[in-house]
Amino acid sequence: MTYLLINLFTILVPLLFSANTRLNFMSKWKPLWSALFIVMIPFIAWDVYFTNIGVWRFNTDHLIGVNILNLPIEEWLFFLCVPYASIFTYHCFGVLIKKDILAKYTNVISLILVALMVVASIVHFDKLYTTSTFIALALVIIIFQWGLKVKWLSRFYFSYLVILLPFYIVNGMLTGMWLNEPVVIYNDLENLNIRWNTIPIEDVFYGMLLLLINIGLYEYLQSKQQETSTHISV
């Protein structure tokens, strides 16, 4: 039950504090859950494909044994629990910290990330996990930064810096940092084989991609909900 417990503990505290009146996170549940389930679809498809071709696999000793489309049920829950906890963190910073600390540096941060992703993808084009993650992240950043010109990207970058700490704990457990063996086993022929302790470096950017798309859709659906509410009140 290792993977299941990791998911449950990841979402437990955010769920408990979602009803906090100051945070008022439960009022965001409609756009939140809509975003989570929509974004889950392409990531599950990606996950199923990579599992089937051996980019990664799952250690059955740490699973309850229920599979859907050849993926353990815990992996499906991962795409709900981790983004929920992360968007909760992002929301909390928006409520509790009014100053947009990285606002002046957003363009530079985006440029550096896109440049790193593109160069690494070209140099290591034969690494499937590396290239697919880096190219996808670069494209999504370009769309949000210069295409849609969203205002929340700087707050996302700040939040993600903080989220890296719980990310390190959760992904560390999944990759065997505090266990005798990992829950998720990677084929190092398909990644850079550079580890942050036991975590493949690609996971840091895969996590950023997952959360960036979730928050982008969440922000869009939230704005639509606010427009509808304003229209009804008028």
Helix (H) or strand (E) segment spanning residue 72: strand 71-72
Helix (H) or strand (E) segment spanning residue 67: strand 67-68
Q: Is position 156 within any domain? A: yes
What are the pLDDT digits (tens) for 103-141? Answer: 999 999 999 999 999 999 999 999 999 999 999 999 999
What are the pLDDT digits (tens) for 38-61? Answer: 999 999 999 999 999 999 999 999
Q: Is position 187 within any domain? A: yes
- C-alpha span between 119 and 128 (Å, rounded): 15
Mean pLDDT of 166-195: 95
Q: Is position 16 within any domain? A: no
Q: Is position 224 within any domain? A: yes
Most confident of 12-21, 93-102, 153-162: 153-162
63 in helix, strand or coil?
A: coil
Q: Is position 17 within any domain? A: no
Q: Is position 190 within any domain? A: yes
pLDDT band of residue 230 (cuts 50, 70, 90) is low
pLDDT of residue 179: 86
- C-alpha span between 203 and 215 (Å, rounded): 18
- C-alpha span between 94 and 174 (Å, rounded): 29
pLDDT of residue 207: 97
The chain-wide mean pLDDT, for the chain, equals 95
Higher pLDDT, 224 or 186: 186
Q: Where are the alpha helices (DSSP H) in the chain?
A: 2-17, 29-52, 73-96, 106-123, 128-142, 153-174, 201-233
Work out how many domains the chain is built from and give that number: 1
69: left (phi over 0), alpha (psi -120 to 50) or beta: left
Its domain, for residue 95, covers 2-11+22-233
pLDDT of residue 224: 86
Whole-model pTM?
0.94
Mean pLDDT of 83-109: 95
